[in-house]
Amino acid sequence: MILIASFIAGSVFGLGLTISEMINPVRVIGFLDVAGQWDPTLAFVMAGALAVSLPGFRLVLRRPRPVMAQEFHLPTKSKIDSRLLTGAAIFGVGWGLGGFCPGPALAGLAAGDPAIYLFVMAMVAGQWTATRTLGE
Amino acid sequence: MAEPNIIGGFGGGALIGLAAVLLLAANGRIAGISGILNGVMTSPSNAERLWRLVFIVGLIAGASLYRLLSGALPIQLLSGPLMLAAAGVLVGFGTKLGSGCTSGHGVCGLARLSPRSVLATIVFMGFGIATVYIVRHLS
């Protein structure tokens, strides 16, 4: 059941990424290009996402446990440290250079474009390197 | 530049938010894609790896459905292969180091009012904006 739910959640996410065009580097870089012809589309994507997730999370987290699992697995880190900030900065640079973040890149594999395979492979390599470097 | 896609953007965004709520309500998990992807590789148990893999398969299936119904995915690459490879490494490294990406911090973290996520989101947005500025307007 958890697997069915995971698949459904993933599919809805994938549909959301494509309908919103968050999967499109033109929209992403257009949004980040504040000095050029600014494209506000991504702002509306974030607004739409938060319009649902803000109240949705509050409602869901009132329950003692999820519907199909034993407990909620929420992030436990609370410190704002250099890893968080450095990581976010590095991610931001990569996002600005390619116009892809992890979700859109994975969903973009559906396009069958070798360039996107390349990005995803590089992303996996980057994650793996970070994991090793952090000694985890 | 194409006309801003306000309705599709907001509607698609709402679906993203809905997906995150669904995953939280059913599995109790955060829909942070970088974490889910990383977990496919590093999680200790088969069960942990499997739900993540299935989620990613769903991600691709959802996009495939869109492609089937509309004919094509709205993807227009702006970078060549070398740049994409470099960008990919940075995105992978940065999201692991920073414990999240646009979905993990930007959608889920903000929804939880997490101070870490608020700061991370401001930082990656800022660096994204700075990067595009340098590439497009300074070089």
Cα atoms found within 13 Å of the Cα of residue B43, Cβ hemisphere only: 15
pLDDT by residue (tens digit) across B30-64? 999 999 999 999 999 999 999 999 999 999 999 99
Share of chain B above pLDDT 70, in %: 99
Q: What pLDDT is stored for residue B123 in this prediction?
A: 98
**A68–B contact, CB cutoff 8 A:** yes
Share of chain A above pLDDT 90, in %: 95
Angle, vertex CA A40, rays to CA A36 and CA A41, nearest 5: 125
Q: What pLDDT is stored for residue B65 in this prediction?
A: 98
ipTM field: 0.96
Chain A residue nearest residue B80, CA to CA: A115
pTM for this one?
0.96
Q: What pLDDT is stored for residue A135 in this prediction?
A: 73
Q: CA-to-CA distance for B32 and A106, rounded, in angstroms?
A: 13
In 3-state terms, what secondary structure has residue A8?
Answer: helix
Cα B109 to the center of its chain, rounded Å = 13
Low-confidence ranges of chain B (pLDDT < 70): 1
With CB atoms and an 8 Å threshold, state whether A23 touches B83: no
Backbone angles phi, psi at A123, to 5 degrees: -65, -45
Q: How far is B19 from chain A (nearest CA, A)?
A: 5
Q: CA-to-CA distance for B15 and B10, rounded, in angstroms?
A: 9
Report residue A134's pLDDT band, with 50, 70 and 90 as the boundaries. confident
pLDDT by residue (tens digit) across A14-54? 999 999 999 999 999 999 999 999 999 999 999 999 999 99
Q: CA-to-CA distance for A47 and A55, rounded, in angstroms?
A: 13
Report residue A122's pLDDT band, with 50, 70 and 90 as the boundaries. very high
Q: What pLDDT is stored for residue A109 in this prediction?
A: 97
Q: What pLDDT is stored for residue B1 in this prediction?
A: 59
Answer whether B11's CB lies under 8 Å from A19's CB.
yes
Q: What pLDDT is stored for residue A136 in this prediction?
A: 60
With CB atoms and an 8 Å threshold, state whether B65 touches A47: no
Q: What pLDDT is stored for residue B41 in this prediction?
A: 92
With CB atoms and an 8 Å threshold, state whether B66 touches A15: yes
- Mutation pick from B6, B7, B24 vs chain A, by most beta carbons of A within 10 Å, is B24
Q: CA-to-CA distance for B92 and B86, rounded, in angstroms?
A: 10
